[in-house]
Structure 1
Amino acid sequence: MLSISVERSSEDGVQERNYNKREFSYSSFVRSFTLPDAADANGIEAKYVDGVLCVDIAKREEAKMQSRQIEIK
């Protein structure tokens, strides 16, 4: 199982002579994926560039080497 979670919070404020104004924002996101049996848990890499999250999941070596023959009828 691969879970990706993000939490973001921000605070903004204005201080004037007669009043103080403060705004708070909080958001969170969680997404979970079931990985196939051929996925290598130690071979997962992620990078976040320009607002895009890229997740690379490697296959285990024995899964890469498997071959099978399919009979055509």
Structure 2
Amino acid sequence: MTLIKYNPSLPNTENRSFSSLLDKFFNDSFNGVGKEMQHFAPQVDIAESKKSFEIAVAAPGMKKSDFNIDMKDGSITISGERKFEEKKEEKNFHSVETQYGSFSRTFHLPENIEEDNIEASYQDGILTIVIPKDEKKELKRTIQIK
């Protein structure tokens, strides 16, 4: 039997071997639940329409107050922390696959945005940031060939 280190980023996680499940169980037990929960990167979807850009951050289980959104030098930084709260019900966790910890994601924005009209909302575990475009600023330029 070959032990395969558990890797959640592998595309085919449906066909995990029994040994990989054992490996994950024992690694989590010996490493302690808190060690692997210091950092995570929530999944982000970015879309563009004619009037705006939209950033959607999947962060279920968090509150609005857990997020920070900062604009600086043409970049937007979304940061926050999802805390692991052990309840005092004397539960023994056998597996914890949910990611916990702090995160920070920075995205560089184009020049044709209206920084003063950016809006953010949080509903059903999705932080949505709408960044309107400034129609007066055109990014496309035609360069004449000499």
TM-score (norm 1): 0.61
Alignment size in residue pairs: 60
> What is residue 19 of structure 1 aligned with on the other side?
none
Per-residue deviation, 1:13 = 4.7
What is the aligned partner in structure 1 of residue 45 from structure 2?
A: none
**Equivalence for 2:55:** none
Given candidates 59, 70, 83, the residue that maps to 1:9 is 83
Across the aligned residues of Structure 1 and Structure 2, the Cα RMSD in angstroms comes to: 2.9
Output the TM-score relative to the length of structure 2.
0.34
| Alpha-carbon shift at residue 68 of structure 1 (Å) | 7.9
Q: CA deviation at 1:12?
A: 2.4
Q: Percent identity?
A: 41
Q: Report deviation, 1:48.
A: 0.8
Show structure 2 runs of 5+ residues with no match.
Answer: 1-74, 91-99
4+ aligned runs moved over 4 Å, structure 1: 66-69
Q: Which has the higher strand share?
A: 1
- More helix as a share of residues: 2
Change (3 A) 1:27 1:67: closer
2 CA distance for matches of 1:15 and 1:48?
A: 30
Residue identity opposite 1:9 in structure 2: K
Cα deviation, residue 67, structure 1: 8.9
CA shift digits 1:24-56 (9 cap, x unpaired): xx6011100001000111111111100111110
